[in-house]
Chain A
Amino acid sequence: MIHHQKVIFLALAVGLAGCASVPDSASLDKFTADIVKASFRDEGIVKASVLDADETNRLCSEADVAGKPLDDATAKRVEALNLKTVKAPPNGKYLGDWKEGEKIAQNGRGLTYTDSAKTVNGGNCYNCHKIDQKEISFGTIGPSLHNYGKLRGVADPSSAEAKPVVEYTWGKIWNSKAYNACSNMPRAGHMGILNAAQIADVMALLLDPKSPVNQ
């Protein structure tokens, strides 16, 4: 590790011909990538390769560093790219059991280096969203989802009128970046955090008129 830092700095120094100023942005990106490679290692179920960013994460990280959002054309391209990954429910059922959905929304476990491969992944929903108002321990990073279906006029989720909202919500949970290129929200379906049946249960929590969310 100690040796590595020296080698990287040496390479930088040579590249800069001895100039004692901070490297340009592209060199810093490269230097950062080298440091990431040297610093992180596989542990438990988490492989170091999960740090290999896809185009979406690469572009959004760069935009965050620059402190300005993606330009409109790039944002639209990234959203289209992500929308393509959304898979409709294999059995055609968009809504499952809201009671199971509540458990998934509460659960923040899974996919850390201290979890096992057998750990059932949670949705982490309450970490960022208000959902059932009886749960006072909710985060505020995302918007409130209390009355989610009610506010959108969903009386019968299987009706033709409800179809656009139902499909949008499925897509948003499956791949949040399909609708907001650099959303803070994970891509639960696309990244394999939740399976289709679990997503259907979370859908029911949000859209089933019987769910406490819509009372």
Chain B
Amino acid sequence: MRIANKLVVAAVLASSGMVVWAQKNAAVQAIEEYRAMLQDGNPADLFEAKGEGLWKQKRGPKNATLEQCDLGKGPGVVKGVFVELPRFFADTGRVQDLESRLLTCMDTLQGLDAAAIAKTSFGKGEQVNMTALATWIAAESKGMKFALPQAHVKEKTFYEVGKRLFFQRAGPHDFSCASCHGEDDKRIRLQDLPNLTKNPGDGVGVAAWPAYRVSNGQMWGMQQRLNDCYRQQRFPYPGFGSDATIALGVYLGVNSQGSASVAPAIKR
């Protein structure tokens, strides 16, 4: 009941973005207040619990758990992996982010069809499990500082590719990521926009995802966050776990080195 009430308040606040209902400062303050109010009851907790369960549950054609999955610090290590991703994995020969790496483990350990999962829409089928797993794994690094490895040539190369993608102007509106996230202290409508060309600080930008979005009641991982940015840029559909999304993740992650992750966060 308590959470339900909060969600009603939150939904009312969230839908008020375009309505003149108060002075701007009051609006921003109210949003800050409801965020603070929700901190002791972030619905992301439910996704976290589900993710932990899925990690330990025997599933797929191979009837296996994910407990032997190597997320970068050895098989089964979950704590601290999130703030070191994306990174290079020798077994796949790829730079991978959390979600694309989970896809690899679901495929190799459990026998699930990685290509089919990648094609599944967000919020449907195995993608729901993917988000829950990513939420739990990210939560296990809560408060830790980003420290993406940049020793391997492919990791360095992906940073450079990610930078190019960040500044890629295209589509009917000529938008790039930098159109909104290239300068300090800018807003789109009332929404503050972090400058992602440099370190935006603790819990901002990549350090805030996965996050629970109050406005639509959905839990989003970083893949979905990037996908929706590209949608609003009027770009075509970036494949789930595609190299473009991973390279962008390296660029954003390395720029955030040293900042603390607050994921799973709560967003408007």
A interface residue numbers (CB < 8 A to B): 1-2, 4-6, 9, 12, 20-23, 28-29, 31-32, 35-36, 38-43, 46-48, 50-53, 56-57, 60-61, 64-65, 106, 111-114, 124, 126-128, 134-141, 177, 184, 186-187, 191-193
Q: Give the interface size class of chain B.
A: 35 or more
> Across the interface, do A186 and B175 meet the contact criterion of CB distance under 8 Å?
yes
Which of the residues B94, B154, B176 comes within 8 Å of A61, measured between beta carbons? B176
Cβ of B30 under 8 Å from chain A? no
Measured CB to CB, the closest approach of chain A to B14, in angstroms, equals 13
> Across the interface, do A193 and B172 meet the contact criterion of CB distance under 8 Å?
yes
A–B Cβ pairs within 8 angstroms, 19 of them: A2-B94, A32-B168, A35-B244, A38-B239, A43-B237, A48-B236, A50-B236, A51-B168, A56-B174, A60-B169, A61-B169, A64-B169, A106-B18, A114-B231, A136-B27, A141-B183, A187-B174, A191-B173, A193-B173
Q: Which residues of B contact A191 (CB under 8 A)?
A: 172-174
> Across the interface, do B236 and A46 meet the contact criterion of CB distance under 8 Å?
yes
> Across the interface, do A39 and B242 meet the contact criterion of CB distance under 8 Å?
yes
Report the nearest A residue to B232, measured CB to CB: A112
Cβ of B12 under 8 Å from chain A? no
Report the nearest B residue to A188, measured CB to CB: B173
> Across the interface, do A39 and B180 meet the contact criterion of CB distance under 8 Å?
no
* Bound Cα distance A91, B118 (Å): 50
Q: Which residues of A contact B232 (CB under 8 A)?
A: 112
* Bound Cα distance A41, B255 (Å): 28
* Bound Cα distance A134, B18 (Å): 12
> Across the interface, do B94 and A128 meet the contact criterion of CB distance under 8 Å?
no
Q: Which residues of B contact A111 (CB under 8 A)?
A: 171-173, 234
> Across the interface, do A1 and B175 meet the contact criterion of CB distance under 8 Å?
no
Report the nearest B residue to A121, measured CB to CB: B172
> Across the interface, do B235 and A140 meet the contact criterion of CB distance under 8 Å?
no
* Bound Cα distance A37, B149 (Å): 26
Report the nearest B residue to A49, measured CB to CB: B236
Cβ of B24 under 8 Å from chain A? yes
* Bound Cα distance A29, B172 (Å): 22
> Across the interface, do A64 and B178 meet the contact criterion of CB distance under 8 Å?
yes
> Across the interface, do A61 and B168 meet the contact criterion of CB distance under 8 Å?
yes
Q: Which residues of A contact B167 (CB under 8 A)?
A: 61, 64-65
Q: Which residues of A contact B117 (CB under 8 A)?
A: none
> Across the interface, do A140 and B187 meet the contact criterion of CB distance under 8 Å?
yes
Report the nearest B residue to A52, measured CB to CB: B170
> Given that A20-B153, A112-B231, A114-B231 are contacting pairs, would A36 and B168 also be in contact in the complex, using a CB cutoff of 8 Å?
yes
> Across the interface, do B93 and A5 meet the contact criterion of CB distance under 8 Å?
yes
> Given that A5-B94, A61-B168, A65-B164 are contacting pairs, would A46 and B243 also be in contact in the complex, using a CB cutoff of 8 Å?
no
Question: Could you list 7 further interchain pairs (A-B, Cβ under 8 angstroms) beyond the known A6-B93, A20-B153, A191-B172?
Answer: A4-B243, A9-B93, A40-B236, A43-B237, A64-B167, A186-B173, A192-B172
Q: Which of B193-241 contact A (CB under 8 A)?
A: 193, 231-232, 234-239, 241
> Across the interface, do A28 and B161 meet the contact criterion of CB distance under 8 Å?
yes
> Across the interface, do B188 and A46 meet the contact criterion of CB distance under 8 Å?
no
Q: Which residues of A contact B189 (CB under 8 A)?
A: 126-127, 137-139
* Bound Cα distance A57, B176 (Å): 10
> Across the interface, do A6 and B172 meet the contact criterion of CB distance under 8 Å?
no
Q: Which residues of B contact A53 (CB under 8 A)?
A: 168-170
Which of the residues B156, B161, B174, B188 comes within 8 Å of A32, measured between beta carbons? B161
Q: Quick one: CB contact mask for B7-26 with A, threshold 8 Å, 1 for yes?
A: 00000000001111001100
> Across the interface, do B165 and A32 meet the contact criterion of CB distance under 8 Å?
yes
Measured CB to CB, the closest approach of chain A to B253, in angstroms, equals 17
